[in-house]
Amino acid sequence: MKDFFNVTPLETVLEWVSRTHRAGTEAIELFQSQGRVLAQDLVADDDLPPFARSTMDGYAVKARSTFGASEGTPAYLSVKGSVAMAERPYFRVEDGEAARIPTGGMVPENADSVVMIEHTDTLGETTIEVYRSVAPGQNVIEKGEDFKKGATVLEAGTLLRPQEAGVLAAFGKDPILVYKRPVIGIISTGDEVVPVTAVPRTGSIRDMNTHTLSGLVWQNGGTPRSYGIVKDQKAPLFQALERAVMETDMVLVSGGSSVGVRDFTLDAISSLADSKILVHGIAISPGKPTILASATGKFVWGIPGHVTSAMIVFCMVVKPFLDHLRGIALSSREAPEIRAILTRNVPSSQGRRDFIRVRLIKKGAALYAEPILGKSGLIHTMVRADGVIAVGMNDEGVLEGTEVQVIPI
């Protein structure tokens, strides 16, 4: 047997990420912003909040008017007036004075703190007793304490969570400019593969890869577009590929695990206009036969047909390309890591990165990662899995009891 390809290290494959274009931009309603990626910096055009606000119901005062106050020796302050919600107070607060203020009310000029109503008592119409001292700034959000005018509040490339929607709302940004959801073409291949709604005759199986890969694309902010199931022949694959490359931002071809089929996949991709095979074989397991190519500036992937391999290749190799396409900045938040203790030895081969499916098990205060054994053609191993661990190129395995990082899957 000839050694039909030289594998590329994963790190080298990922260097192509930055050469991906990004999806275009569009304006959308803020209400629809979840999971989208901001396409321009948000710079504060005013202080937030734009005025000092009380965080309590109570009395706005100059803090020093309360210094030394206690249950035994209260401070006596004269009530200057009441702050109405949503209005600018027309008065100043001087030494020895107080102004009634609701939570969220604007702190009057000259006052620097708020005494909680619970720490006061009224003595007639215009005088209060204060039983505790407050420090300057206490129970007040200062003008600009959240964000100062001119500050960069959010950077282009930020993945929008609920709190980022809140910030955009605070600065009046609606609609907002975001990157378009990249459209990802998905082609399943295989003479033995039939559509989900068909009853497979003996020797055939239903198309799982279109659905697992579409799910992964949805989950990662893209819009999958299925180009159906293509038979193991060059011409129909070439036609499907040509259409998909034209109509989408990136294309995934799954299947072709047998050598012959891999060859004609490579052939069909190579026949695309302005095409180039960039990577043929990656030093990972599962996923070694993965192909990365470009055609008219778009990336085309040949992904192994085994359902589990296809999912792991997506998560470990394709996802960074999709993240880039959808506009996520490298500096943006990564998914937080999960750390767990490995429950048994995992052997591995040097010279490649092994991804091992694991199930997380909580026992008391500790979290364990239990390797899931099973062939990569078995989807039940992915249903049971909570994540994968990566075993390094230069490791011969990982010992039971080692703390490992689990990548959710």
Nearer to its own copies, 64 or 211 (CB): 211
- Residue 116: CB minimum distance to its own copies, A: 9
CB of 147 to its own copies, least distance (A): 6
Residue 96 or 174: the one with the smaller Cβ distance to its own copies is 174
Residue 108 to residue 90: CA distance in whole angstroms? 8
User: In the complex with its own copies, which residue's Cβ is closer, 11 or 263?
Assistant: 263
- Residues 102, 258: Cα–Cα separation, whole Å: 72
Nearer to its own copies, 20 or 188 (CB): 188
Beta strands 298-303 and 250-254 are parallel
**Which of 123/278 has CB closer to its own copies?**
123
Give which of 104, 108, 128, 109 is closest to 118, Cα–Cα.
128
- The answer to whether residues 88 and 106 touch, using CB atoms and an 8 Å cutoff, is yes
CB of 336 to its own copies, least distance (A): 5
Cβ-based nearer residue to its own copies, 93 or 295:
93
Nearer to its own copies, 55 or 296 (CB): 55
The β-bridge partners of 82 are: 100
Backbone phi and psi for residue 177, each to the nearest 5 degrees, phi listed first: -95, 120
Cβ 379 to its own copies shortest distance, Å: 5
Q: How far is the CB of 281 from its own copies (least distance, A)?
A: 15
Considering the complex, state which of residue 280 and residue 295 has its C-beta at the smaller distance from its own copies.
280
**Angle at the Cα of 268 from the Cα atoms of 267 and 272, rounded to 5 degrees:** 115
Q: 245 φ, ψ to 5°?
A: -65, -35
CB of 378 to its own copies, least distance (A): 5
Decide whether 272 or 289 has the Cβ nearer to its own copies.
289
CB of 50 to its own copies, least distance (A): 7
Considering the complex, what minimum distance in angstroms separates the CB of residue 296 from its own copies? 27
**Alpha-carbon distance 77 to 54, whole Å?**
18
Tell me whether strands 193-194 and 366-371 are parallel, antiparallel or unpaired: unpaired
Q: What is the crossing angle of helices 234-247 and 259-270, to 10°?
A: 50
d(CA 377, CA 268): 25
Closest CA to 358 of 397, 387, 398, 391: 387
Nearer to its own copies, 168 or 282 (CB): 168
Pair 217, 322: CB distance under 8 Å: yes
User: What does the alpha-carbon distance between residue 208 and residue 290 come to, in Å, rounded to a whole number?
Assistant: 18
Would you tell me how many other CB atoms lie within 10 Å of the CB of residue 261?
Answer: 19
Q: List the end-to-end C-alpha distance of the chain, in Å, as a whole number.
A: 35
Shortest distance, CB of residue 218 to its own copies, whole angstroms?
4
Phi/psi at 266 (5° precision): -60, -40
* Least gap, CB of 36 to its own copies (angstroms): 11
Beta strand extents in 83-204 (DSSP E only): 97-101, 113-116, 120-123, 127-130, 140-141, 152-154, 176-179, 183-189, 193-194
